[in-house]
Amino acid sequence: MAIIEVDDLVKRYGDHTALSGVSFAVEEGEIFGILGPNGAGKTTTVECVEGLRTPDGGAVRVCGIDPQRDTGELRHLLGAQLQESELPDRLTVREAMELYSSFYRDRADWRELVDRLNLTGTLGTQFRRLSGGQQQRLSIALALIGNPRVAVLDELTTGLDPQARRDTWDLIEGIRDRGVTIVLVTHFMEEAERLCDRLAVIDSGRLVALDSPAGLVARVDDRQRVRFRPSAPLDHAVLTALPEVTSVERAGSQLVVTGTGDLLLAVTTVLARHQVVAAGLRVEQTSLDDAFVALTGRPLDT
Ligand SMILES: Nc1ncnc2c1ncn2[C@@H]1O[C@H](COP(=O)(O)OP(=O)(O)OP(=O)(O)O)[C@@H](O)[C@H]1O
């Protein structure tokens, strides 16, 4: 069942069109990623879902309600991660939890939340004295304090070190396992690949693809590359003659053979027939990065 429906969403800032007709539906219980380069329109999209921006066209529904018209109800259904600047520096973790918990009719047990997010030792600590990872976890706790059905997390792990990022991913999966649908805005390909059930790729205000990470890769390309250093000179024609091979290129001392199907077997069989040993042989599959480049024409800037 779709819990969020975005239909032909248009948003302009003056003469700049930030979104020109974006449509997608988020299914209940999934981790739905919104991936795209800087300025693509990701934050604008989620701000329209959160009722923080008024669309210039199209429609948004969250659990069937219009976020613009029913902001009061939306607050109880959707938890949004706060931006850092939204919390007073001197507010302690305990004060923040008590204050935000008072805003909701269905309140999570904030002590349990604090415990789950590994913040128990920080209850008396002021916001400004928390580490980046602790501030991030607090903002997640505050997004979940009203027991929402959907949590929107924007650039969740930006600024975190690799370990803190991985810990946060585990946390997000735990939240999803408790039945909360998650919309995750991200810049990080690895994060998208690891966490998201489906991804909306947005570029220049348009939805360029919507699929699972594996589906995006398969849709773009099922090519593989085999790289190796031949032990003796080899006529490229013996490789290009193979039906599995689409191209053969030299990269320094290496040969890079691109193709489909059982490429590795075809290449190694020919090499054995010509008594050529393949040193440092590697097989490379198309990655989500490659898929992103194929879809948008450029790499994702991090
Ligand atoms: N309040 C605003 N006024 C004018 N232009 C804006 C405003 N907010 C965003 N924009 C512009 O709209 C476009 C989309 O911005 P948005 O923040 O939605 O992109 P984003 O994909 O979230 O980017 P980032 O990854 O950099 O946060 C950008 O060109 C941005 O400069």
Residue 206 belongs to a domain: yes
**Inside any domain, residue 30:** yes
Same domain as 141, residue 173:
yes
Lowest mean pLDDT among 8-12, 55-59, 96-100: 96-100
Residue 16: which CATH number? Answer: 3.40.50.300
* Banded pLDDT at 224 (limits 50, 70, 90): confident
Is there a single domain that holds both residue 194 and residue 227?
A: no
- Select from 42, 53, 296 the residue to mutate for testing ligand 1; criterion: most ligand atoms less than 8 Å from CB: 42
13 Cβ closer than 6 Å to some ligand 1 atom:
yes
What is the pLDDT averaged over residues 255-265? Answer: 91
Q: Separation of 114 CA from ligand 1 center, angstroms?
A: 32
Angle at 163 between CA 38 and CA 119, to 5 degrees: 100
Q: How far is the CA of 202 from the centre of ligand 1 (A)?
A: 12
Compute CA distances 171 → 7, 82, 135, 189, whole Å. 30, 17, 14, 18
Ligand 1 atom closest to the Cα of residue 185 is 22
Q: What is the pLDDT of residue 268?
A: 95
One domain for residues 64 and 118: yes
User: What is the DSSP pairing of strand 181-186 with strand 278-285?
Assistant: unpaired
Owning domain of residue 246: 222-285
Q: Degrees (nearest 5) of the Cα angle 70, 76, 78?
A: 85
For the Cβ of 46 lying below 6 angstroms from any atom of ligand 1, the answer is: no
CATH of residue 263: 3.30.70.100
Q: Give CA separation, 179 vs 146, 149, 152, 217, 231, in Å.
A: 14, 8, 14, 28, 56
User: Over 60: is that where the pLDDT of 302 sits?
Assistant: no
pLDDT confidence bin for 255, thresholds 50/70/90: very high
Given 194, 218, 242, the domain boundary residue is 218
Whether residues 175 and 250 share a domain: the answer is: no
Residues 6+ apart with CB under 8 A from 112: none
Residues 159 and 22 occupy one common structural domain = yes
Ligand 1 centroid to Cα of residue 44, in Å, is 6
* Mean of pLDDT values over 266-284: 93
163 has a pLDDT exceeding 90: no
Domain for residue 293, yes or no?
no
193 and 171 in one domain? yes
Give dist(CA 211, CA 188) in Å, integer.
17
Residue 185 resides in a domain = yes
Distance (Å, rounded) from C-alpha 289 to C-alpha 34? 15
Residue 8 belongs to some domain of the structure: yes
- Examine the domain organization and report whether 133 and 232 are in the same domain: no
Across the range 37-46, mean pLDDT stands at 92
Question: Domain count of the chain?
Answer: 2
Is 42 near ligand 1, meaning CB less than 6 Å away?
yes
- pLDDT at res. 123: 95
DSSP states along 170-221: HHHHHHHHTT-EEEEEES-HHHHHHH-SEEEEEETTEEEEEE-HHHHHHHH-
> Do both 171 and 92 map to the same domain?
yes
Is residue 168 a part of any domain in this protein?
A: yes
Cβ 16 under 6 angstroms from ligand 1? yes
Q: Is 30 or 174 the better-scoring residue by pLDDT?
A: 30
ipTM of the complex in this document:
0.96
Indicate whether 294 belongs to any domain: no
pLDDT band, residue 276 (cuts 50/70/90) = very high
